Amino acid sequence: MRIGIANDHAAVEMKNEIVKYLEGKGFTVVNYGTDTNDSVDYPVYGEKVACAVRDKEVDLGVLICGTGIGISLAANKVPGVRAAVVSEPISARLSREHNNANIIAFGARIVGLEEAKGICDAFFGAEFLGGRHERRVNLIDEVDKRNHQ
């Protein structure tokens, strides 16, 4: 599996640790930056991974900013992207199983490294369950289409 990852300046260290962790698990990780502590704008990095997921350069994504909120909000503006911001592993698993989330987001200022690893384990260890959930996920796309400007 190919995983795209990006972050803002609040999450460089955590991103580096998560890249090592995921590579250690055998995943191919594509890093879309940022890689320095210079202040950057999180929407730029949210869009990079969102477009990589949309364009199938990667299968799934990880986004990390201070809270995970801003970077996921930006990613969710890309049609077909479902970025779930979570702070514990149960929600990470359910975001795959029920919502077919294709990006997991979390905050480097909110969760510790071990919790972040647990979130990744839960997310990448789960599969979309389909069935009744599929109809609901399709309805999300319809909301998008109805309200597209």
> In angstroms, rounded to a whole number, what is the distance separating the alpha carbons of residues 73 and 127?
23
Part in contact with ligand RB5 (CB under 6 A); list of ranges 29-37, 59-67, 74-82, 132-140 = 59-67
- Give the bridge partners for 65, in sequence order: 107
Q: Does 67 bind ligand RB5 (CB under 6 A)?
A: yes
Q: Which residues contact 117 (CB under 8 A, 6 or more apart)?
A: 18, 21
Q: Which of 65, 120, 133, 148 is labelled catalytic?
A: 65
In the numeric block, the tokens 């990470």 are attached to 92
In the complex, what is the shortest distance from the CB of residue 94 to ligand RB5, in angstroms, rounded to a whole number? Answer: 22
Smallest distance, Å, CB 65 to ligand RB5? 3
- Regarding beta strands 60-65 and 103-107, do their DSSP bridges make them parallel or antiparallel, or are they unpaired? parallel
Residues that bind ligand RB5 (CB under 6 A): 8, 10, 42, 65-67, 69-70
